Structure 1
Amino acid sequence: MPIFSLSAPPTPLRLMSAAILAATLLTACGGDHDDEEELTPRTLSMEKIGGYNGGAVGAAEITAFDAASKRLFVVNGANGTVDVLDLAAPATPKLVGTINVSSLGKGVNSVAIHDGLVALAIEADPKTSPGTVAFYNAADLKLVNSVKVGALPDMLTFTPDGRTVLVANEGEPNSYGQAGSVDPEGSISVITVNRGGTPSVATADFRAFNGQEAALRAQGIRIYGPGASAAQDIEPEYIAVSEDGRTAYVTLQENNAVAIVDVATAKVTAIKPLGTKNHNVVGMGLDASDEDGGTNTNSGTPAIKIAPQPVKGMYLPDAIARFTVDGNTYLITANEGDARADWPGFNEETRVRTHCTAGLDPTVFPDAANLILDSNLGRLRITTTPNGGSAGKNAAGQCNELYAFGARSFSIWDSNLTRVYDSGDEFEKNTQSLANVKFNASNDNNDLDARSASKGPEPEGVVVGRFGKKTYAFIGLERVGGVMVYDVSKPSAASYVTYLNTRTATGGDSGPEGLALIPADKSPNGKPLLIVGNETSGTTAILQVNLSY
């Protein structure tokens, strides 16, 4: 199977007996295990040992594993179902069943498992109506019960004790200002599982923030959907839960913020803005054009040019993961970026040269006349609406601020959502010389620079795992493909470890959507496994994590 792997240079090996090496196990996802007896790896690598082809675009998205039955549950977006794979032999997964939810809704958006209980987030038809969370037995796939939740449940997760399921109800509109427009409120459902009984649902909504839209915008929280209240405009995307299960951290992707939820009371206690990334700093640059193979022109050719640019990147994260170091909570965000670009009645996405028809403000942008050309910033996709009506222009109509989608990176934040680390431009630098795919190709082509003007590699999924005293982050790159690994044991000084990309041009595994880490003590082969659901290729990749001591 074709792969491309790029690892950091090795450091000197410690001498250890084979017996000690064989006894070492991965502890747990989330960085919560404190077993002082467990050995700490020097580094790690990954290899693809197996896979399953769903046979259609969208046939592999989010995955979850049940250790007792050795079954892998794979959201099949192409069919609106869940494929159930026997993972007893990870090198040769076999389809053993399918969960059809057509009687409950349009299709499945997410899956989570705790001790044999499978939870599915099911979208309604239409998506603006309340969704459903259904519970199934992993062993026999029988429906246990179901409950109604908010509109468009996009992601769900169990608390560590398995007693509660949290659901991010995105509440996307079907349009803005059109006949029949519906914009449901975003919310977080808090489901008390009550195994053996009937689940109960409480709702953490954002209605308390209605009327505070101007104050939210002043804090940097994007509230900008035409005619939308705060509760309607806020769109929960992904959830991470604290180690004690009392607090949830929820990405509000389009709003460039994170909500903090008190689980016991099902109440949003705070919304934290994430701010913007300054791409005009060394190490924080980007490749901003797919026509940069020329000098000050509107008819350039593709080229690799990663450099600082006078642009602000809105983080707009998708996935979020939580880990602890020395008793302190940290959060990792995959800064994908997202635009409200496909709604009838509103489109915020444009390009610099299209948006800045009066040019760039020369008092802000040196060499403004050349900078706006396509070989420089002219092709870069930006928002027309940075925050609630502002167009980022001066009184003369010249652009004085440029806001791009996503940060082309992952970031680490403390529990107050103060940023302590950002990977800068390393994703683009570490993917510029791949043997199996061209730089900044998209997930459905192999064109050089295809994504340079629009979010670059587009990090989407992230999971963390604790191995001895080290914590590692695994980040999936939706467009160019593959998984980046960083050592985040020192949150303010995270370091690149390795990268594995298992696509070949337009073949292989493309479009990583969801990542799931199986610790060694729950793995069918006794080795830690990383499961990657690749949406574009419809393939599920089984990666083995190999620890080196």
Structure 2
Amino acid sequence: MNCKKLFFAILMASVISTSCKKISEPIEEPITIVPEDIASFKEIASIDLGGETSAEISAYDPSTKKLFVVSNEGGAKVEVVDLSNYPSLSKSKTINFSANAGINSVAVSNGLLAIALDGADKQGNGDVVVLKTSTLEEVKKITVGAMPDMVTFSPDGNYILSANEGEPSDDYTVDPKGTVSIINIKDNYSVKTLDFAGFESQKANLVAAGFRIYGPKATFAQDIEPEYIAVSADSKKAYVTLQENNGVAEIDIVSGTITKINPLGTRDINLAENPFDVSDKDNKIALSNWPIKAFYLPDAISYFTTGGISYVALANEGDTRAWKGYDEEARVKSLKLDPTKFPTAATLQLDANLGRLTVTKAFGDTDGDGDYDELYATGGRSLSILNASTGALVANIGKDLEQHVIDAGKYDDERSDNKGVEVEGVTVAEVNGRTLAFIGMERVDMIAVYDVTTPAMPKFVQLFSTGDAPEGVLFVKPKDSPNGRSLLVVASEGDGTVKFFQPNKL
């Protein structure tokens, strides 16, 4: 073969190789920026689905223009809302699950609706039921772990993941394992349910870093309580909040393994950037510094990428184990404080100071002598942004968030002693080329919008009111929404309303 023929053969082989590679690789969908004013979200439509607990979590199917809403009013059910004539709305159907003790979550992908249901015995295994969104006929029913609290699809639509909280019975005599189930849709909905027993040997190091393992007579696996899941854009990793435990687990979806637990540590309320309003009996609303720390205890989590780096946003609601069989909650005024660590204990324990604050009595007696050397509040009252790969804290939106609510005259001082604004939900999405975090605050009935395009420097954008106690915060991209515009859907469990918010066009 002469040089010309050799060169041509090499060139053609390179072209064919490159072409094949491009064909086999997933094609990334181009981002279409819809010109919208990111600071102008307002209510466009609303529907009332009933009383308390009749609107919790929602999921939208663009192919049928149906919104599916979790309801526990009068039994476990899914309310189906028709958006085909949006902004006119109508309830078209109710799907009942009377055999189940409760319903917790819904998710939609590629014409499939996944529903997370408690078992008839709440501490027993639960179910994920899959329906076709078009006909609502059942495709599959999959047994998962106890109390599936949140269900989601991977972005590629190949997997369904369920966070199975495994809460104990009220008398704490039955405490199931907290688990995560991975359902492989392509493999006839085969399921792999993972527990955390393999991390028992790491317990001491995890607790020292701010992880909470403390349930009475519980093994490590029993004590874990998965709450919410976010999945990476490439569908390879999942990030799971372990709310009561104060941590985030990372899961390799493809191999079906839990790869690590990231303890979240505490927020120091004595630092200038971390003030709390700690009393509902001080006749004022003011963020101040106090000699306490706060466990973050995140509920919702949202995954996003900006600047080529992946992050997770955590809604640090706070939660406790307050059962008849075991209750960790205490008011500061009821505790015996170490006189060396708290020389002004008598003053601190007044109702107008720290006395009314809810703290955990499970942690803080560091030397085991019966008095408290540290005080730990139960909730971060903030939104945290972490580097998804390293788990490092990048930013914490707390003081600024609560101050904007105070300035708007919407702060509920009756909740100062317990969780403050109560950051319950979060979703991060792109609007007009900016990355926005939509933060749901249960106790002030509001959504705060922050620009997190530069995650280390979040910027406040907007604050607007919702229904009573917003629970589910769902973003629908313009290409999927019923009118081709960015759409935020907020389901509020306090009054059973679902409200629809959209920004102005530019």
Assess same fold via TM > 0.5: yes
Paired with 1:372 and 1:547, the residues of 2 have a C-alpha distance of: 52
The sequence identity of aligned pairs, in percent, is 43
Q: Deviations over 1:200-246 (max 9, x none)?
A: 10122112123543343233211100010110000100001111111
- Is residue 519 of structure 1 aligned with residue 499 of structure 2? no
Residue in 2 that maps onto 1:462: 426
Which of structures 1 and 2 has the bigger CA Rg?
2
Q: Residues 97 and 226 (structure 1 numbering): CA distance in 2 closer, same or farther, change over 3 Å? A: same
Aligned match for 1:384, one of 349, 355, 361: 361
Q: Could you say what the CA RMSD is over the residues aligned between the two structures, in angstroms?
A: 1.9
Change (3 A) 1:420 1:366: farther
Deviation at 1:401, TM superposition (A): 0.8
Picking from 168, 177, 192, the partner of 1:185 is 177
1:285-434 alignment runs, 5 A limit: 285-293=275-283, 303-341=284-322, 343-356=323-336, 359-361=337-339, 363-365=340-342, 367-386=344-363, 391-392=364-365, 397-415=370-388, 416-434=390-408
Change beyond 3 A, Cα 1:47–1:220? same
Give unmatched runs, 5+ long, in structure 2: 1-27
1:108 aligns to 2:103 (yes or no): yes
C-alpha distance in 2 between matches for 1:33 and 1:330 = 20
Deviation at 1:307, TM superposition (A): 1.1
Q: Which moved more, 1:208-217 or 1:252-261?
A: 208-217
CA contact (8 A) 2:38 2:503 kept: no
Alignment of 1:542 onto 2:500: yes
State the partner residue of 2:54. 59
Give the counterpart letter for 2:348 in structure 1. Answer: L
Could you tell me which amino acid in structure 2 is paired with residue 355 of structure 1? L
- Which residue pairs with 2:157 in the alignment? 162
Report the equivalent of 2:11: none
**SS at the partner of 2:191?**
strand
Higher relative contact order (CA 8 A, sep 6+): 1
Helix, strand or coil at the partner of 2:352: helix
Q: Does the CA-based 8 Å contact 2:50-2:496 persist in structure 1?
A: yes
Matched with 1:80 is 76
Structure that is richer in helix per residue: 2
Distance (Å, rounded) in 2 between the aligned partners of 1:184 and 1:327: 40
CA distance in 1, matches of 2:365, 2:432: 48
Cα deviation code 1:446-503 (max 9, x no counterpart): xxx210000001011100111243100001001111101000000100111101014x
Equivalents in 1 of 2:367, 2:181: separation in Å? Answer: 42
Report the equivalent of 1:483. 447
8 Å CA contact 1:120–1:134 kept in 2: the answer is yes
Q: Whole-Å Cα distance in 2 between the matches of residues 208 and 128 of structure 1?
A: 22
Does the residue aligned with 1:364 lie in a helix, a strand or coil? coil
- Which residue in the other structure is 2:15 paired with? none
Question: May I ask how many residue pairs the two structures share in their alignment?
Answer: 477
Partners of 2:52 and 2:303 in 1: CA distance: 30
Please say if residues 335 and 371 of structure 2, whose CA atoms lie closer than 8 Å, have aligned partners that are also in contact. no
Q: Which runs of 4+ in 1 moved over 6 A?
A: none
**Amino acid in the other structure paired with 1:85:** V
Q: Tell me which residue corresponds to 1:26.
A: none
Question: Residue 38 of structure 2 contacts residue 432 of structure 2 at CA under 8 Å; is this kept in 1?
Answer: no
TM-score, length basis structure 1: 0.83
For the residue of structure 2 that corresponds to 1:432, the secondary structure is: helix
Q: 1:34 to 1:411 in 2, by over 3 A?
A: farther
TM-score, with normalisation over the residues of structure 2?
A: 0.90
Letter paired with 1:231: A
**Partner amino acid, structure 1, of 2:313:** I
Which of residues 533, 536, 539 is equivalent to 2:491? Answer: 533
Any unmatched runs of 5+ in structure 1? 1-31, 294-302, 441-448, 503-508
> Does structure 2 retain, via aligned residues, the 8 Å contact 1:534–1:540?
yes
Matched-pair contact (CA < 8 Å) for 2:38–2:431: no
SS in structure 2 at match of 1:464: strand
The Cα shift of 1:547 comes to 5.4
